Amino acid sequence: MTARTSARREVPAAVVAAPGTAPSIQSVRLPERVADSTLLGVVAAPLNPLDLLIASGDFHSARYESPYVPGSECVGHVLASNRYPAGTLVYAECHASPSTPGALSTHTVVPDDDVLALPDDLNPVLGAAVGNSGTAAFMSLIETAGLREGESVLVLGATGAVGQLAVQICRLHGAGRVTAAARDPAALDRLLPMGADALVALRPGEEEASLCARLAAAAGPVNVILDGLYGPPLQAALLTCAPRARVINIGNLAGATAQLPAGLLRGRQLALTGFAGLHTPLREKRAALNWLWAKLASGELHIDVRTFTLDQLPTAWSAQAASPHAKCVVLPDSRLLPTTHRSDRS
């Protein structure tokens, strides 16, 4: 193929016009595909908290004053590529910006290094849904924390997609005890069949000592904390840590700051790490994705998915903003779904 093989085309897409505005569906012009990129027909594009945070204008790593097409990941069919045969079903990461359209479009152009072939036996909607959330959970727990069989794990913010997958990953890796903590008691109850051993419902305005006591009673000394909340919940949870515990932060829904006494840090020799999928290349996520996809295909791993058409994006956007306890996935063109997977739409 030549370096330029796809003419610029107008396609339907979501567009965030300015920081703090919800996206609307418009016609946008795709950039031309060049030799080291792949043109995709988008099958399934998950919504992630990251997408909403960037659109809000309050994200620490990106703020766009000009209109752009959001969407940080998708599964799609290859339409033109020098690396992948046409028709190949692939997973792709999209680094959306005013000059680079994201995944919330019927078509997108992605650098070849941000594309990974999907296994043949995998539901493409589920394969997309587990990408961002699953890698955050798996890489934090298994690669960064080095979770060992028999260890006690506490998941803070356990009812979101990352937390639900984290509970299952802990179970599949032989964790001795998994404690799930979050605000919604009903959503917490659904984690018991996924592998949680104990549940802690977070209460608004609860004193740190009270929450610490409840966490300690439920979890015992904790070896690993996966923290999606930060703020006061993490402060209470740190007091339950066993010596040499590993703490991985992946979000800050409960606050942008947390206090950590120096004596606690040194006395228990804690290891604190942050994980950011946005700054992790796809090549480093390959092992995690392959494990997640294999467990999905075998039925050992589950994720709740709510699907929306592109025209329903405003509804999906609002649902994601309200913490739906499920993965919201947009299907820009459902005609691209393999017929064997159409019954999976909800």
Query: Is the model's pLDDT at 80 over the cut of 90?
Result: yes
pLDDT of 75: 98
| Mean pLDDT of the region 127-146 | 98
Which pLDDT score, from 0 to 100, does residue 3 have? 37
Q: pLDDT (tens digit, 9 = 90+) per residue, 238-278? A: 999 999 999 999 999 999 999 999 999 999 999 999 999 88
What is the pLDDT at residue 73?
A: 98
User: Tens digits of per-residue pLDDT, 305-316?
Assistant: 999 999 999 999
**β-strands 222-227, 271-274 pairing:** unpaired
Tens of pLDDT, residue by residue over 180-238, are: 999 999 999 999 999 999 999 999 999 999 999 999 999 999 999 999 999 999 999 99
pLDDT at 41 over 70: yes
Q: What is the pLDDT of residue 2?
A: 34
> What residue ranges define each of the domains in the chain, with the CATH number in brackets?
10-130+303-344 (3.90.180.10), 133-277 (3.90.180.10)
Checking if the pLDDT of 6 tops 60, the result is no
Return d(Cα 215, Cα 218) in angstroms, integer.
5
pLDDT tens digit sequence for 176-187: 999 999 999 999
